[in-house]
Amino acid sequence: MNLTELTSRLPEGSVLTAREDLLPYAFDGTAALKQMPAAVVFPRNAEDVAAVLRFADEQNAPVVTRGSGTGLSGGSVPVKNGIVLCTLRMDKVLEVDTRNLAMMVEPGVLTKVIDEEAAKHGLFYPPDPSSMKVSTIGGNVANNSGGLRGLKYGVTRDYVMGLEAVIPDGEIVWLGSKCVKDVAGYNLRDLFIGSEGTLGVITRILLKLVPRPKAKRTLLATYSDIERAAETVSAVIEAKIIPCTMEFLDRMTIRCVEDFAHVGLPTDCEALLFMETDGHPAVVEEEAAAMAEIARKYGAKEVTLAADEAQALQLATARRSAFAALARIKPTTILEDATVPRSELARMVRFCEETGKKHGLQLASFGHMGDGNLHPTFLTNEKDTEEMHRVEQAMSEIFDFAISLGGTITGEHGVGLAKRDFLPRQFDPGSYALLSKVKASLDPKGLLNPGKIFPVQG
């Protein structure tokens, strides 16, 4: 690859090539995966991105796009000696359109900035991946990120009205519109959402906003076993209440979080349910009371209704710090996101526990109980190859069990490198073949994020 040529085609200061400058871009948030690129490019607009892709096309150079690199499936780990295209300098909020409840942004804007901007207008951007303080919206769209509010509000996909992307030949395309209804032509917007940088580079995003809920109540319920927590979740939904969050922590996660954050979580229980309801003040009061009653009826040991916003925030912070708290225990934290239909979550949690035990592994579980999205988390050491082998074996069994329950190997992190080899297990051969057909058709040379989602072709 002719790096001088690449550098000459972009504004000054856009390309890094020195080894020490490249090092921070050799990995993302995924344990045990890294690879050195040849160059890191910081485009400032779609034209810069197009210049990079045209160069890559000429030189047959692979291009891996990344934002903050918080991904947990190796989706933005570089290809050896390839180009890394980093969107962090494309960080402008271009428009907040309060009449059409929409916001146009560049891909490098941080997720939390999106919601802060929305809040200035009394509006709300609901998707809240745990990494939202550092993750970029471009990464969220490329991975169709989830978050804690999935049950009520859906995921990133549900808030993307349109996007601009640069496709492999350097053409800039726009997909979608500000119209609430638009059925002109195939929906390629949704094909690009969640395509993990393998079909194009997203350069602008038109987001949908909703009115900001006026009130919120937070509840905490503790249980002596996971089944009762799961029954509570089912009963709340049977009562036609759709809370915005229904989060679950197992014993090990509770203890780690309490050690880490000291928020006064009870450490003598087997499971903890953290629930939030938001919306109109009258509805929120009514629902919070009903949820507390249901929790008690289904055998909660203790039910706490946060007295004020400070207490609610403290509890929310406790839940949000689960990953960080677990990550302190052992050198390597492998956070999975096997997901099942909501009704199967209790079985899935039990299976993870047993599988961890069977393989002699330290495993903590937490996750989004309302939407069946579990995070079984292995606390291990990547240098211990024998233990890592057992982790892989356990993970494989967990994925197979999730699939057998009608679930998925990845609820919100994406396939990337880490789950690529498991993907064919979830798809029937016909639909797996369709995925490859689409890739081959839109990126015929296979230069965009090669090796992610599928093995490198040919």
Which residues in 418-457 contact its own copies (CB under 8 A)? 419, 423, 426-428, 430-435, 437-442, 453
Q: How far is the CB of 74 from its own copies (least distance, A)?
A: 14
Q: How far is the CB of 314 from its own copies (least distance, A)?
A: 26
Assign 205 to helix, strand or coil. strand
User: Binding residues for its own copies, how many (CB under 8 A)?
Assistant: 92
* Binding-site string for its own copies from residue 301 to residue 340, where x marks contact by CB under 8 A and - marks none: --------------------------------------xx
Our CB check for its own copies shows the closer of 283 and 329 to be 283
Which residues in 333-362 contact its own copies (CB under 8 A)? 339-343
Our CB check for its own copies shows the closer of 26 and 199 to be 199
Q: How far is the CB of 453 from its own copies (least distance, A)?
A: 7
Token output for 330: 């052992």
Our CB check for its own copies shows the closer of 186 and 310 to be 186
Token output for 58: 């000429």
Distance CA 77, CA 33 (A): 7
Distance CA 338, CA 233 (A): 19
Among 80, 133, 262, 280, indicate the residue that binds its own copies (CB under 8 A): 280
- Does 277 participate in binding its own copies (rule CB under 8 A)? no
Our CB check for its own copies shows the closer of 383 and 437 to be 437
434: amino acid identity, one letter: L
Among 12, 20, 238, 386, indicate the residue that binds its own copies (CB under 8 A): 238
User: Phi and psi of 445, rounded to 5°?
Assistant: -85, -5
Distance CA 261, CA 256 (A): 9
* Binding-site string for its own copies from residue 180 to residue 199, where x marks contact by CB under 8 A and - marks none: xxxxxxxxx-xx-xxx---x
Distance CA 222, CA 414 (A): 31
Our CB check for its own copies shows the closer of 1 and 242 to be 242
The bridge status of strand 201-208 relative to strand 160-166 is: antiparallel
Our CB check for its own copies shows the closer of 29 and 370 to be 370
Q: Which stretch binds its own copies (CB under 8 A): 112-120, 240-248, 255-263, 319-327?
A: 240-248
Among 18, 240, 360, 458, indicate the residue that binds its own copies (CB under 8 A): 240
* Residues 449 and 198 sit within 8 Å (Cβ to Cβ): yes
Distance CA 302, CA 223 (A): 7
Nearest to 10 by CA among 89, 92, 76: 89
Which residues in 105-164 contact its own copies (CB under 8 A)? 122, 143-144, 146, 150-151, 154-155, 157-158
345-358 vs 226-238: helix crossing angle, rounded to 10: 160
- Which residue reads 């809920």 in tokens? 213
Token output for 377: 């988390």
Give the DSSP letter of residue 110.
Answer: B
Q: Which stretch binds its own copies (CB under 8 A): 52-60, 179-187, 290-298, 354-362?
A: 179-187
Our CB check for its own copies shows the closer of 49 and 102 to be 102
Q: How far is the CB of 301 from its own copies (least distance, A)?
A: 24
Q: How far is the CB of 332 from its own copies (least distance, A)?
A: 23
**SS3 letters for 53-103?**
HHHHHHHCCCEEEECCCCCCCCCCCCCCCCEEEECCCCCCEEEEECCCCEE
* Binding-site string for its own copies from residue 368 to residue 387, where x marks contact by CB under 8 A and - marks none: x-xxxx--------------
Q: How far is the CB of 439 from its own copies (least distance, A)?
A: 8
Residue 417 CA, chain-centre distance (Å), reads 15
Burial class (CB in 10 A: 0-12, 13-18, 19+), 89: middle
228: amino acid identity, one letter: R
Q: How far is the CB of 163 from its own copies (least distance, A)?
A: 11
Which residues in 10-69 contact its own copies (CB under 8 A)? none
Element (H, E) at 165: strand 160-166
Q: How far is the CB of 190 from its own copies (least distance, A)?
A: 4
Our CB check for its own copies shows the closer of 101 and 207 to be 101
Among 11, 13, 24, 211, indicate the residue that binds its own copies (CB under 8 A): 211
Our CB check for its own copies shows the closer of 242 and 324 to be 242
Our CB check for its own copies shows the closer of 66 and 208 to be 208
* Cβ-count burial 212-226 (b if 16+ within 10 Å, e if not): ebeebbbbbbbbeeb
Rg (the chain; Cα; Å): 22
